[in-house]
Amino acid sequence: MKRKLAAAIGIAGMMVSIAACGSSDNKSGGSDKGADAKALTVWLTVDAQNNWPELVKAADAAVQKAHPGVKINHEYYGWPDKNTKLDAVLATDKAPDVVEMGNTEMLGYMVKGAFAPIDASKLDNSAAWLDGLKASVTYDGKTYGVPYYAGGRVGNWRKDVAASVGVKTPPKTYTELISDLDKIQKKEGSKFSAWYQPTRDWYAAMSFVYDAGGSIAKEDGGQWKASLSSPESIKGLNDWKTIVDKYMHGDKTKDESDRYIVYGQGKSAMIFGAAWEGATSEDPKNDKTGKLKGNLENFVMPGPSGKNLPVFLGGSDLAVPVKSKAQALAAEWINAFTGSAGQKGLMAKGNLPNNKTDLATLKNDPATVVPATAAESNWFVPMAPGWGQVEKAQVLQTMLQNIGTGKKSVEAAAKDADAAIDKVINTK
């Protein structure tokens, strides 16, 4: 699930040195600071409160068993107001000890020194963390958080539309995908989108870029430089443009925020999005066709490279504010919550785990094999100090809209995007 980077971090005034909170030999993986703390304050989003409260209680019980008498306080927040409240409290001496962050929100806080470093080697499954999730908690060679759970992206199509052109199974290769879509597009006509792909959906477009061996930006000698105009990235953008030109016959200035609603209107045969979108489209309140329930099918997206298309992994991380007075205890609670037992509980609730070992077990279940397989190949945003400014300026969305609408060529739009990225990507 996607979490947008906060537009304003609001903690620039924090003059706190992270170096004073280095890792230690304690088994929790955090600092020794607060090892004898008598209370712990944990901030989570309402997802945990509503969907897996028993997992929160289990983590509490594990910590309290090891530390009799410790009081654990929980506060729950909605995503829209969480960061505003966090920013305000981080400016005081009343910081919580554990905070949940969307994984794209982590970077801005790590850059500003808001979180204490954690010794990942002492945490369950850290050696097997999914690459994209590991990247989200890593900055300047240090680990500042723990991946909590993930959500990936998959293809989803209407079985009835596919069957109408003689296709009975989802595509396994990109050649099959294109062949199937060509048949659907020819049959349904120019007002129908064989693949509804919102132009400004940069998560999908960048999957094509990474599939082709390209990238948004690369680090060299401690400096980041945009790379969307590299030959590899240009190939990926052209592959993406071909899809948009051939199969996307909707508004080419839209983003993906209402894709599940548009899909439910019945004027498209396929989407590439978060694994929950298909199920949400077939909900009676979104299904305007009355035909989608039980008629939609997820599949692993094949890429032009011949491999599975790399997907962006959204999700949540847990971090310990540098101002926490119970850092060691906080790291211990996080390990109890996100460790082996916690991951099994989260998977049972329909989430992807934070590590490759548990992810592999989901491939044995027909109900979870598609999202688990898709998540094996993944990518994440450049962990550069100025990435938040790139997102805030919507550089990628602008580039893609210019390409999709024909306002600029792929090469010109990529060159302009690189110039815009290079202006801010190394700026804290």
* Residue count of the chain: 428
- Cβ atoms of 156 and 270 within 8 Å: the answer is yes
Report pLDDT for 6.
32
pLDDT at position 5: 32
Q: Among all chains, which residue has been given the structure tokens 């947008």?
A: 4
| Cβ atoms within 10 Å, residue 284 | 10
Q: For the segment 335-370, what is each residue's pLDDT rounded down to a tens digit?
A: 999 999 999 999 999 899 999 999 999 999 998 999
Predicted local confidence at residue 428, as pLDDT:
87
User: Could you give the C-alpha distances from 346 to 269, 294, 351, 354, 358, in angstroms and in order?
Assistant: 31, 25, 6, 10, 11
Cβ–Cβ < 8 Å for 242, 410: no
pLDDT digits (tens, 9 = 90+) for 395-410: 999 999 999 999 999 9
pLDDT value, residue 37:
86
Pick from 354, 299, 281, 304: which is nearest to 120 by CA?
Answer: 354
217-220 and 138-139 beta bridge pairing: unpaired
In the predicted model, residues of the chain with pLDDT beneath 50 are 1-28
270-274 and 98-102 strand pairing: unpaired
* Pair type for strands 296-299 and 311-312: unpaired
Residue that the structure tokens 């929160």 belong to = 56
Domains, the chain, in order of start with CATH, read 39-151+313-379 (3.40.190.10), 153-312+382-423 (3.40.190.10)
